[in-house]
Amino acid sequence: MNFSSKLLENAVEEFGRLPGVGKKTALRLVLHLLKQQDAEVTRFTQSLNLLKEKIQYCKECYNISDDEVCEICLSVKRDKSTICVVEDTRDVMAIENTNQYQGVYHVLGGLISPMDGVGPSDLKIEGLLQRLRAGDVKEVILALSATMEGDTTIFYLYRKLKEFNVQVSTIARGIAFGGELEYVDEITLGRSILTRVPYERNVG
Amino acid sequence: MNFSSKLLENAVEEFGRLPGVGKKTALRLVLHLLKQQDAEVTRFTQSLNLLKEKIQYCKECYNISDDEVCEICLSVKRDKSTICVVEDTRDVMAIENTNQYQGVYHVLGGLISPMDGVGPSDLKIEGLLQRLRAGDVKEVILALSATMEGDTTIFYLYRKLKEFNVQVSTIARGIAFGGELEYVDEITLGRSILTRVPYERNVG
């Protein structure tokens, strides 16, 4: 691209580094911001600087938090004996949105992925084991993606958690609500038959 | 969405204001930036602040520029007697990329659009007329989008430009190179027959 301005080119290059943002989209976003009031652009950049500067990770569950301990870990309404292990903060948000879970979380900060150079020591696994050592935990739910990285991480965690006196469970895999049988892949369908659930439990 | 952090929520909200960026995409982008080094995020926000602070518009053609007069208007290689009128800086970049144009530009900064409350006085039309009054301009090419707003602006400009002794032309409209006839819309196809060009000119 032939930029008439080095400043414009720099800004477009920075936006183009964002995941899923190509050069043309970057240019569109930058020109949009350029048309806005000064105050709006300042607010945009400040929100990002503030976030980067002040953000903390809950020292209990490692979720993104504005304070030392996050709201969920602080809440007396949450059941501290159940820990749901997730990959990142987006998963916490997704599960919170279901309004089906009353326990607490543990955010790993990633999944084991040798291809990407992510090993167990890069994740907050030691923090999880410490919480178990502190006692009072009855169940650990592994709510990780149904991918190779997710399964690898589940396998690793399961072996680590065996030495503790806790129930380890994984979230159910099967056909989605509204999913039509003929379009479900074979592995999911096969597993959903093997892990079938008594009718009374599914409607309960 | 249930954000665990107000700082995170603010940043996601700011990103979500960008055109074509929804809440989920905004969250993905913000979490990506949060994973980057501090220096990279600083570079990102600074590029934007610098752009907004220091950007200038060429006082000749109103294109985005780092200086008072842009490189194209300064260049002695460019033919100052031909002015190509475009909507915004992206169009300048697109035409420059073709390497087919040796004249100079005039950036209107938008198109006449009563629906959006954009009238002729919101565009840099007076600046264009001043350039014509200064003389030495032989041709004005109206390279505007083939939309209702583009056509309205062309009609308005054509009437204004009639009083000057200049050739006014519009860029050719027709089927695109590689375009298959059966998929071309009727209006374009009809016009491309009416404005047919001698074979010698098209291959020249």
Do B142 and B167 meet the contact criterion of CB atoms below 8 Å apart? no
Question: Is the pLDDT reported for residue A204 higher than 60?
Answer: no
A-B interface: how many C-beta pairs under 8 angstroms? 152
Q: Are residues A39 and A106 in the same domain?
A: no
Residues 55-74 (B) with a CB less than 8 A from some CB of A: 55, 58, 63-66, 70-72
Q: Are residues A124 and A42 in the same domain?
A: no
Looking at the complex, report in whole angstroms how far the Cα of residue B70 sits from the nearest Cα belonging to chain A: 7
Q: Are residues A128 and A100 in the same domain?
A: yes
Flag whether A47 is in a domain: yes
3-state helix, strand, coil in chain A (%, to 5): 50, 15, 35
What's the pLDDT tens digit per position in A179-196? 787 888 888 888 888 888
Q: Which residues contact A198 (CB under 8 A, 6 or more apart)?
A: none
Do A98 and A91 meet the contact criterion of CB atoms below 8 Å apart? no
Q: What span, in angstroms and rounded, lies between the C-alpha atoms of A61 and A80?
A: 11
Flag whether B69 is in a domain: no
Q: What span, in angstroms and rounded, lies between the C-alpha atoms of A23 and A13?
A: 7
Looking at the complex, report in whole angstroms how far the Cα of residue A29 sits from the nearest Cα belonging to chain B: 6
Coil, strand, or helix at residue A87?
A: coil
**Structural domain for B191, as ranges:** 174-204
What's the pLDDT tens digit per position in A103-126? 999 999 999 999 989 999 999 999
Neighboring chain B residues of A5 at a CB cutoff of 8 Å: 55, 64-66
Q: What span, in angstroms and rounded, lies between the C-alpha atoms of A196 and A132?
A: 30
User: How many structural domains compose chain A?
Assistant: 3
Q: Are residues A29 and A87 in the same domain?
A: no
What's the pLDDT tens digit per position in B42-95? 999 999 999 999 999 999 999 999 889 999 999 999 999 999 999 999 999 989
Flag whether B22 is in a domain: yes
- In angstroms, the Cα distances linking A24 to A16, A27, A138, B18, B142 are 8, 5, 52, 14, 23
For an interface test with A, the pick among B46, B47, B56, B69 (most A C-beta atoms closer than 10 Å) comes out as B47
Q: Are residues A150 and A197 in the same domain?
A: no
Q: Are residues A18 and A48 in the same domain?
A: yes
Check residue A157 and give its pLDDT: 95
Q: Are residues B100 and B148 in the same domain?
A: yes
Q: What span, in angstroms and rounded, lies between the C-alpha atoms of B68 and B45?
A: 25
Q: So what's the ipTM on this one?
A: 0.80
Angle between helices B38-54 and A23-35 (to 10 degrees): 50
Check residue B204 and give its pLDDT: 54
Q: What span, in angstroms and rounded, lies between the C-alpha atoms of A34 and A27?
A: 10
Closest CA to B160 of B201, B99, B106, B100: B106
Q: Are residues B158 and B195 in the same domain?
A: no
Which residues of chain B fall short of a pLDDT of 70? 202-204
Q: Are residues A128 and A183 in the same domain?
A: no
Helices (H), A6-147: 6-16, 23-35, 38-54, 71-74, 89-98, 125-133
Looking up residue A118, the CATH number of its domain turns out to be: 3.40.1360.10
